Structure 1
Amino acid sequence: MEKISSRHRAAGVLALLGLVTQIVGFTSWAETTQLVSYLLWGAVALLWRDIPGRSRIQAGALMATGALMLLVARFVYDASIDWPRVLEGNVFVVAMLIGVSFISLIGRQGNQSVGGKRLTGSGGILRTWLGVHFLGTILNLSTIFMVGDRIARRAPLTTPQYLALNRGLSSAALWSPFFASMGLVIALAPEVRYLHIALVGFPIAMLSGAITTLELRRRFDLTEVDGFSLSPKSLLMPLGMAAGVMLFHFWLTPSLSIISIITFLLPGVAVIANLRNGPVFTLKRVRQHAFHRLPAMRGEFSLFLAAGLLTIGLSTLVSAAAGQEWTLFENFGIGQGLLSFVGIVASALLGLHPIIGISVLASMLDLAASDQTLFAFVALSAWSVGTSVGPLSGINLSLQGRYGVSSYQMMRDNLLYAGIMSLLSLGAIAGIGFIQP
């Protein structure tokens, strides 16, 4: 086994302690957000030199910009700033990501955990999309590697396979309660009605699969293109997890948000699943997870925390310069939602992760409870389209790093798809805006 440095071990322990401290904060025992922020930022500081160059530059720029905005607000506009708490932005989301990562401790490790069989042709492409989509609702970015590596056993991946992997995962952002995108929007818009989002987002996600299959069948000869198919048994875990979240949300802990429930439920289930092999075995797996898996998430941690600092800095500066009453839009309705979607997707094409556009937008809005579901769908749909086509999105950078495909080539290959999905999303935004109270 690869030797892990003491720095990585310390960072993994800090991240794990951040998760535990966050879970403690869900009780009435203590308010722990500030401590969680210090633990998670400490982990990022220890792992900073290991973050890939592009991600480090982007995260560093976000941090510097956020800090500069706070300084301008304080010394130019004489704003009152609670400095010990300026690092708290997006810690809920990062804690959720850590919690979700524990799903890899359930069942067997490795590619075998996805099960299924190979297929070819357009049916294989559709089943690849379905497999990545439904596993990705729980496993997030790791699904790309699990399914991609399995397909690549026979031959190097081809463009249709790359696109099926990309679109299958990015479309899950439209409705999955376990996705980082959902965690972010729930943190920004806590009054969002998740069921309304799912009722709109899930059908559009299914259309993504149909669009992908039809487009790739038209553009490529798929006769010898291998696909991947989930076995029915493999769907039990995603469905069971989703059912568990709904059980806690509506009956057992209705006062907690979905992001909070996911944060404690998934690691709890993972620990319980391993305890049948004894406490020593369970402790060993948790230790391996903390030392290996959590440090490997350094890019995600740094981006989300940096975007959180930017959001706090921007909102503080805007309030100080324009007054507490200023907002980008006086009301957030259909027109504002459409403009926001276009702006976030356009920024993704320029290389910014959608989290940045969403966070900046939220910092300049004063959303009423009735507007939050519309805002949430704008954010989720922009995330879905933006990560599929953005050359510097986590999905495309992961495909580039793992399999060598150019992320900019992926952007070009996804332009038509992104255009069609944008039209569907814009129509859905208009529909939600029309019916919301």
Structure 2
Amino acid sequence: MPDTPQPKIIPRHALAGGLILSGLLLQVAQFTDLFPLAHAVSYCLWLATALLWVDIPRRTRGQAGVLAAIGLGLLVLASIWHDARIDWPGILDGNTYVVAMLVGVSFIGLIGNLRGRSRPAGKALTGARGMLGTWLGVHLLGSILNLSTVFMVGDRLERRGPLTTPQLLGLNRGLSSAALWSPFFASMGVVMTLAPEMHYATILAFGLPLAMAAGMLTVGELTHRFELADTAGFSLSPRSLLMPVSMAALVMLFHYGITPDLSIVSIITFLLPSVALLSNLPQGPRWTLRRVHQHTLVRLPAMRGEISLFLCAGLLTQGLSTFIAAATDSSWTLFAHFGPVQAIASFLAIVISAAAGLHPIIGVSVLASMLDLDGGRQTLFAFVALASWAVGTSVGPLSGINLSLQGRYGVSGTTMMRHNLGYAAIMTLLVVGAIVVMEASL
């Protein structure tokens, strides 16, 4: 079979692609403690972003630039006004582990389709059933594989054409609602650190029904608002689920058996590229090397939008959290007692701040730093944190899911926020009700 004509490679893009690949390899090396330079990953990724800066779409470039400028300014102010000790060599490290995971996930494109462009098989599942399939597929698989599932499902849907607003909303809400209960989400890892005495069984008893309600709300609302007769959904057939389920099983095998000390994000970062390489090796080492080379020169530089947004958002988060920590370093607590009223107020504050552009992790971390919770109150705090994360990431224009959708599929973060305001309002009412019921049961 003759080789497909290769696109012209710009040397600057080739160098940036090599740096991005180096960042991934260095991140994987850090999992084994074989690489001593702590900041090498971030330096590779930021240098690649600088090389690709002029190629980033103007809207994305402007947003990323503002995020970076604010984050850097807050670090300077924290140092000057509050004498905060800043680890200046490490200020670029924020979100690099997420970016490394995204780069690793991109190698999914090398799995299958070894001889040509794949085509969607058969007639697509559409309408309410299709939307339910999309939400359920992203939710169930995303509860284990996190953000990588959005790309698995989204790229499969995109084979039939550019993603529509209902499809993007299904991806957004399917993943974000898993934060309500999944023990493998980054949100749960953060909350377990901040509230180590929480009762997970209680969280599951309230979070899982809320997540199912979010799914029914999504299907009902989008079916009412949009004409979905021609909108393809994700089919939960064995064929379509084979790769995601296989990946999920491998992740669980490594998490519980082979590498129990590594987080899910870390396992995904090295496992998916490894599986991609192994799937190509039967075609021969030269074939495999050629595909990796082409992926590095073309696909990795094309990720410049999402990489720049995540890196600059990480710098903003680091600057803001450092400034707040320096400004609020005192012995007072926000609430003398953390009851339902205080929990509802905290939930609303975090969701509103997320809609204004702050990642929920900032609000959750700041709230935890201003509370002194005994064991009995930690479960309520944990639920507030997880619920605000789930609702806040769906509506927040700078959340991980919306940054990914913006960088990968070109949708505006403000557009996603506008379409999710009604959803967030209804979910807020449900969460408030759950807080009241939980308080009565604790």
How does the TM-score come out when normalised to structure 2?
0.77
Match of 2:254 among 248, 257, 265: 248
Deviation of the 1:421 alpha carbon: 2.7
1:118–1:226 CA contact under 8 A, matched in 2: yes
1:144 paired with 2:148, answer no
- Are the structure 2 counterparts of residues 373 and 105 from structure 1 closer, same or farther at C-alpha, using a change threshold of 3 Å? farther
Deviation of the 1:285 alpha carbon: 2.0
Give the secondary structure class of the aligned counterpart of 2:274: helix
Give, as a single letter, the amino acid of the residue that structure 2 aligns with 1:232: P
**Per-residue deviation, residues 130-171 of structure 1 (Å, max 9, x unmatched):** 455567654424633531442x4xxx9876556545544554
Which residue number corresponds to residue 239 of structure 2? Answer: 233
1:338–1:426 CA contact under 8 A, matched in 2: yes
Give, as a single letter, the amino acid of the residue that structure 2 aligns with 1:76: W
2:309–2:403 CA contact under 8 A, matched in 1: no
Deviation of the 1:75 alpha carbon: 2.8
- Are the structure 2 counterparts of residues 424 and 148 from structure 1 closer, same or farther at C-alpha, using a change threshold of 3 Å? farther
1:6 paired with 2:16, answer no
Give, as a single letter, the amino acid of the residue that structure 1 aligns with 2:30: G
1:133–1:168 CA contact under 8 A, matched in 2: yes
Give the secondary structure class of the aligned counterpart of 2:124: strand
1:76 paired with 2:78, answer no
Aligned residues: 426
1:311 paired with 2:317, answer yes
1:358 paired with 2:346, answer no
- Write the distance in 1 (CA, Å) between the matches of 2:410 and 2:46: 31
- Are the structure 2 counterparts of residues 294 and 199 from structure 1 closer, same or farther at C-alpha, using a change threshold of 3 Å? farther
Which residue number corresponds to residue 104 of structure 2? Answer: 99
Correspondence list, 1:104-183, <5 A: 104-108=109-113, 112=118, 115=121, 117-131=123-137, 133=139, 138-141=148-151, 143-150=153-160, 152=161, 163-164=169-170, 166-168=172-174, 170-171=176-177, 182-183=185-186
**Per-residue deviation, residues 66-113 of structure 1 (Å, max 9, x unmatched):** 222222232333333332122222222222222222222222289847
- Write the distance in 2 (CA, Å) between the matches of 1:330 and 1:92: 37
Give, as a single letter, the amino acid of the residue that structure 2 aligns with 1:143: V
**Per-residue deviation, residues 382-418 of structure 1 (Å, max 9, x unmatched):** 4543454456778778889999988766655443322
- Are the structure 2 counterparts of residues 224 and 22 from structure 1 closer, same or farther at C-alpha, using a change threshold of 3 Å? closer
Give, as a single letter, the amino acid of the residue that structure 2 aligns with 1:144: G
- Write the distance in 2 (CA, Å) between the matches of 1:403 and 1:86: 28
- Are the structure 2 counterparts of residues 108 and 329 from structure 1 closer, same or farther at C-alpha, using a change threshold of 3 Å? farther
Tell me which moved more, 120-129 or 276-285: 120-129
1:287 paired with 2:290, answer no
Match of 1:64 among 69, 87, 90: 69
Match of 1:39 among 32, 37, 44: 44
Give, as a single letter, the amino acid of the residue that structure 1 aligns with 2:250: G
- Write the distance in 2 (CA, Å) between the matches of 1:65 and 1:404: 24
Question: Percentage identity across aligned positions?
Answer: 55
2:82–2:327 CA contact under 8 A, matched in 1: yes
Match of 1:22 among 27, 30, 40: 27
Deviation of the 1:307 alpha carbon: 2.7
Give, as a single letter, the amino acid of the residue that structure 1 aligns with 2:361: I
Give, as a single letter, the amino acid of the residue that structure 2 aligns with 1:359: I
Which residue number corresponds to residue 3 of structure 2? Answer: none
Give, as a single letter, the amino acid of the residue that structure 1 aligns with 2:104: G
Deviation of the 1:17 alpha carbon: 0.9
Runs of 5+ consecutive residues of structure 1 not aligned to the other structure = none
Match of 2:274 among 268, 276, 280: 268
- Write the distance in 2 (CA, Å) between the matches of 1:159 and 1:253: 39
- Write the distance in 1 (CA, Å) between the matches of 2:425 and 2:290: 47
2:179–2:188 CA contact under 8 A, matched in 1: no
1:319–1:326 CA contact under 8 A, matched in 2: no
- Write the distance in 1 (CA, Å) between the matches of 2:409 and 2:105: 25
Which residue number corresponds to residue 50 of structure 1? Answer: 55
Deviation of the 1:18 alpha carbon: 1.1
